[in-house]
Structures are given as C-alpha cells and as structure tokens.
Amino acid sequence: MTNERLNEIGGIILDAAITVHRELGPGLLESAYQLALKRELELRGLNVKAKVPVELIYKSIPLGKAYEIDLLVEDEIIIENKSVETKAPVFIFQVITYLKLYHQKKLGYLINFNVQYLKDGFKRIVNNF
C-alpha cells in the first residue's frame, strides 16, 4: 500500500474517532470505544479486524501470542485504543512494538478517548514510513 493511501486512511480514522468521541464522550471503558470505532470505520467502507493476536519471536523462535492489537485497519494500520486519565510514554512504545512485531507495519495510531477534546488524545506513530 502506498504512503499516500495510508495517509488517506489515516484521515478517515481521525474523522471516525472524532465521530465516536462526539457520540459517546469521555469516561467509558476502552472496550466500548473499540467496538464503536470498529463499527464507524466499517460504515466508512474499511476492512477492520479486532483483537488481532501478535506472536512474539525470541532469538528466531516463535513463542506464541504475546500481544493483541486492538484494531487492524485494511491489514496495514494498527490502532491502540485507550481510555485513561494520563497518557503514559509506554503506550507509544507499545504501538511501536506492535508495528515492528506485526509484519513491520508502517503506520499506527494511539487514541485515548478519555479526553475533553479528541485532538489531545490522538497520536500518529510511524515505523519506516
């Protein structure tokens, strides 16, 4: 997939996340936002998978499922949903790890819905983009 297409889908993701945030507001559980965002992205014509397992490879040996991606959009873009008061730096590292471990994906988003304005909870993360 081209970088231009990835950016185009990223715009759709941002708009869908804003729509979900306006509809539900802050303060719900992460799982509620995940379900709503998945549905909103599907309504916009995107292929979305939820709770995608990520295998850990250690010294070239597969160790099994170690992580779970919240949402995988068009088999290319990783979304990690949060609903927390304080955004910890480890959340960014979590998305970077998913990008590297899951077939070297290029683009991910960290979205914290527990904010007054979604722009304060939306972070774009790249890997060799």
Q: Are 40 and 20 in contact (CB under 8 A)?
A: yes
Whether the pTM exceeds 0.85: the reply is yes
* pLDDT tens-digit series, residues 27-61: 999 999 999 999 999 999 999 999 999 988 889 89
* CATH number of 69's domain: 3.40.1350
Number of domains into which the chain is organized = 1
Q: Which helix (H) or strand (E) holds 97?
A: helix 89-101
Q: Please give the sequence-ordered ranges of beta strands (E in DSSP) within 30-120, or none if there are none.
A: 48-58, 61-73, 77-82, 107-112
**Secondary structure of residue 68 in the 3-state scheme:** strand
The confidence band for 129, taking pLDDT boundaries of 50, 70 and 90, is: confident
Q: C-alpha distances in angstroms, 112 versus 82, 89, 118?
A: 4, 13, 7
Q: Which domain holds residue 67?
A: 3-126
